[in-house]
Amino acid sequence: MESREAKFKIGQVVKHRLFPFRGVIFDVDPQFANTEEWWQSIPEDVRPNKDQPFYHLLAENAQTHYVAYVSQQNLLADESGDPVQHPEVGSYFAEFRGSHYVMRPSYAN
């Protein structure tokens, strides 16, 4: 069973373990909090366990920008040092510091 403790932090740049996209975390759910329909739409052989943190990402791939919802087991730290080019990054984060973004004070808890 996966740990419920979040391995990654808000503002951290991550990449998907299997698919060619990366992004910056802007929210974390301690366990699955999306719809059953969404979860069932994932092929069973790669469907993640619900009992682990899930991350909301401002994501990008070679073609587009989007919001992704990804299980902890499918994320890796992105060590590239490159900023994420998602157009909404500036809405959540004030600056990029090499491996992570600093949250805007209006969004910080």
The 10s digit of each residue's pLDDT in 35-62 is 999 999 999 988 999 999 999 999 999 9
Q: What is the pLDDT of residue 36?
A: 96
Does the pLDDT value for residue 91 go beyond 70? yes
- In the prediction, which pLDDT does 46 show? 87
Q: State the Cα–Cα distance between residues 94 and 102, nearest whole angstrom.
A: 6
Per-residue CA distances from 66 to 1, 5, 69, 83, 86 (Å):
29, 26, 10, 15, 8
Q: What mean pLDDT is predicted for residues 72-94?
A: 96
Cα 9 to Cα 16, 22, 45, 65, 82: the distances in Å are 15, 15, 27, 20, 17
Residue 53 class from Cβ within 10 Å (0-12 exposed, 13-18 middle, 19+ buried)?
buried
CA distance 96 to 102: 6
This prediction has a pTM of 0.91
Share of the chain above pLDDT 70, in %: 94
Distance of CA 85 to CAs 47, 58, 96, 107, Å? 28, 9, 11, 20
Q: What pLDDT is recorded for position 2? A: 46
Q: How much is the pLDDT for 109?
A: 56
16, 57 in Cβ contact below 8 A? no
Asked if residue 22 has pLDDT above 60, the reply is yes
What's the mean pLDDT in 51-80? Answer: 97
